[in-house]
């Protein structure tokens, strides 16, 4: 059963495709913070993320009429964010050597934790920093964004089977890193 929010998004997309500017404003209002969050996670540069968000919405305006299946709006939008963010990072790498692409899980997403829970979060964050960007991306999309395998496949432009495989290996890699780091602490 589809969620009412997804149905509402589909309706807004259809209205946008028919030229309704108010529907487009509502779509931006609903999704802008999520788009900014996604861009920031990939880029780790707030100002750059805001610039990318503008580019994303410009692309959406120009190409929303090409979206044949409005029910795929979320994954289509995240795919645009992903590609624009990757382009921005590549451009910045050309400008500056040593740009850090490391991702961290924000404490605000995990909630304020104290004591032992805080140590676990820090352990996970340190372990994630050592993983490849593609592994972090799949873990983030699956666990923090709640995306399903098919949506991740569309966002990253890889087959669903590859997503399953990459997620499995990313989890195994993360487990090994956490285990080795927890032994280091003892």
pLDDT tens per residue across span 22-68 = 988 999 899 999 989 888 888 888 888 898 999 999 998 888 888 88
Torsion of CA 147, 153, 156, 158, to 10 degrees: 160
Closest CA to 128 of 98, 186, 173: 173
pLDDT digit string (tens) for 84-115?
888 887 777 665 543 333 344 334 444 444 45
pTM score? 0.58
Closest CA to 170 of 127, 139, 124: 139
Residue extents of the structural domains in the chain: 1-99, 111-186
Q: Does domain 1-99 have CATH number 3.30.565.10?
A: no
Closest CA to 71 of 14, 22, 24, 29: 14
Residue 42 near residue 80, CB atoms below 8 Å: no
Task: Tell me whether the CATH fold assigned to 1-99 matches the one assigned to 111-186.
Answer: no
Query: Topology of 111-186 in CATH?
Result: Arc Repressor Mutant, subunit A (1.10.10)
């Amino acid at each position: 059963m589809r969620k009412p929010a997804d149905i509402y998004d589909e309706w807004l997309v259809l209205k946008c495709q028919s030229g309704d500017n108010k529907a487009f404003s509502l779509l931006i209002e609903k999704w802008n913070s999520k788009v900014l969050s996604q861009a920031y996670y990939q880029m780790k540069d707030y100002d750059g993320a805001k610039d990318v968000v503008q580019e994303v919405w410009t692309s959406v305006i120009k190409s929303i009429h090409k979206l044949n299946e409005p029910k795929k709006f979320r994954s289509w939008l995240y795919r645009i964010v992903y590609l624009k963010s990757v382009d921005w990072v590549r451009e910045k790498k050309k400008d500056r050597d040593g740009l850090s692409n490391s991702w961290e899980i924000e404490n605000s997403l995990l909630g304020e934790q104290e004591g032992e829970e805080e140590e676990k979060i820090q352990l996970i964050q340190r372990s994630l920093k050592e993983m490849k960007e593609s592994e972090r991306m799949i873990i983030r999309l699956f666990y923090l964004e709640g995306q399903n395998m098919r949506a991740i496949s569309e966002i990253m432009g890889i087959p669903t089977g590859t997503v399953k495989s990459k997620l499995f290996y990313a989890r195994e890699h993360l487990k090994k890193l956490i285990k080795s780091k927890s032994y280091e602490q003892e």
